[in-house]
């Protein structure tokens, strides 16, 4: 796996097993209404700030690793993830550029020349902010709901993407149409989950947090 793919997967990688929770949900009878509502909300969304908890499970180690940090999004296509615990780690996506800061070292990479990385970047942004309009025809989407959440299950159809991610599950809070939980299944057993909380919308005043230099 190349360096850019690893970086995006790390960025893409919330605590209840999603498959158990999904059993309580019903198939959404009219997905078009959800897509229209999400598209409307996306038009008014300029920025998001939130705390997040990440839980990563790797079957070979039979353990979960929990991380905490801050998530920032700014329209369009700007994402910043700051990990504070158990270690400092920073990921910034700004358009076609990706910056990673780890152990005091900064790496900056371009994404525009790699079609697969561009597709994974769009997928990552769509999942993080719930903007399904960014999903290409290379994914199959199925929809569910209960009284509090919508659940969108996403299955990549591209074999190259499937080599990295087996599927995704996005839980969307019906109150504000924001992403509450995101689960990425890397294999049949390995997965990463995020849970987002303390969310603030349209509060960022400039793009300094997304500067890549």
Q: Is 210 inside a domain boundary? A: no
pLDDT at 136: 67
Q: Is 162 inside a domain boundary? A: yes
Count Cβ atoms below 10 Å from residue 71 Cβ, excluding itself: 20
Residues 25-57 as b or e (16 or more Cβ within 10 Å = b): beebeebeebeeebeebbeebebbbbebbbbbb
Q: Is 144 inside a domain boundary? A: yes
Is the separation of the CB atoms in 118 and 107 below 8 Å?
no
Helices (H), the chain: 3-12, 18-22, 31-44, 115-129, 159-162
Q: Is the pLDDT of residue 12 over 50?
A: no
Q: Is the pLDDT of residue 19 over 60?
A: no
Q: How far apart are CA 41 and CA 47, in angstroms?
A: 12
What domain range is 58 assigned to?
3-198
The CATH number of the domain holding residue 97 is: 2.50.20.10
Q: Is 180 inside a domain boundary? A: yes
Q: What percent of the chain has pLDDT above 70? A: 87
Q: Is 22 inside a domain boundary? A: yes
Q: Which of 35-39, 78-82, 121-125, 187-191 has the lowest mean pLDDT?
A: 121-125
**Number of domain units in the chain:** 1
Q: Is 206 inside a domain boundary? A: no
Banded pLDDT at 14 (limits 50, 70, 90): very low
Structure tokens at 30: 């009219």
Which residues in the chain belong to E strands, given as ranges? 26-27, 47-58, 63-74, 78-85, 89-94, 97-102, 105-110, 139-145, 149-156, 167-173, 179-185, 191-201
Q: Express each pLDDT in 180-197 by its tens digit.
A: 999 999 877 889 999 999
Q: Is 137 inside a domain boundary? A: yes
pLDDT at 135: 73
Q: Is 212 inside a domain boundary? A: no
Q: Express each pLDDT in 128-166 by its tens digit.
A: 787 787 676 788 999 999 999 999 999 988 888 888 888
Average pLDDT in the chain: 83
Is the separation of the CB atoms in 34 and 41 below 8 Å?
no
Q: Express each pLDDT in 99-133 by its tens digit.
A: 999 988 999 988 877 767 777 777 777 777 877 87
* pTM for this prediction: 0.81
Query: What are the residues facing 54 on neighbouring strands?
Result: 67, 194
Q: What percent of the chain has pLDDT above 90? A: 43
Choose from 49-53, 75-79, 205-209 the range with maximum mean pLDDT: 49-53
Q: Half-sphere exposure of residue 139, counting CA atoms within 13 Å on the CB side?
A: 25
Q: Burial-class residue 190 by CB neighbours within 10 Å (0-12, 13-18, 19+).
A: middle
């Amino acid at each position: 796996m190349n360096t850019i793919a690893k970086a995006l997967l790390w960025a893409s990688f919330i605590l209840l097993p999603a498959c158990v929770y999904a059993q309580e949900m019903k198939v959404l009878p009219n997905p078009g209404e959800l897509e229209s509502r999400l598209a409307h909300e996306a038009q008014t969304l300029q920025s998001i700030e939130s705390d997040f908890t990440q839980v990563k499970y790797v079957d070979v180690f039979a353990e979960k690793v929990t991380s905490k940090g801050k998530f920032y999004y700014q329209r369009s296509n700007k994402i910043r993830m700051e990990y504070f615990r158990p270690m400092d780690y920073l990921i910034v996506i700004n358009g076609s550029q990706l910056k990673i800061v780890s152990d005091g070292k900064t790496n900056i990479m371009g994404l525009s020349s790699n079609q697969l990385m561009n597709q994974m970047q769009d997928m990552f942004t769509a999942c993080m902010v719930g903007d399904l309009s960014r999903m290409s025809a290379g994914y199959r989407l199925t929809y569910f709901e209960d009284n509090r959440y919508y659940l969108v299950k996403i299955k990549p159809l591209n074999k190259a993407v499937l080599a990295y991610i087996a599927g995704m599950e996005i839980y969307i809070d019906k109150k504000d149409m924001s992403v509450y939980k995101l689960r990425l299944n890397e294999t049949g057993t390995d997965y990463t989950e995020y849970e987002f909380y303390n969310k603030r919308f349209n509060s960022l005043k400039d793009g300094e947090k997304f500067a890549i230099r």
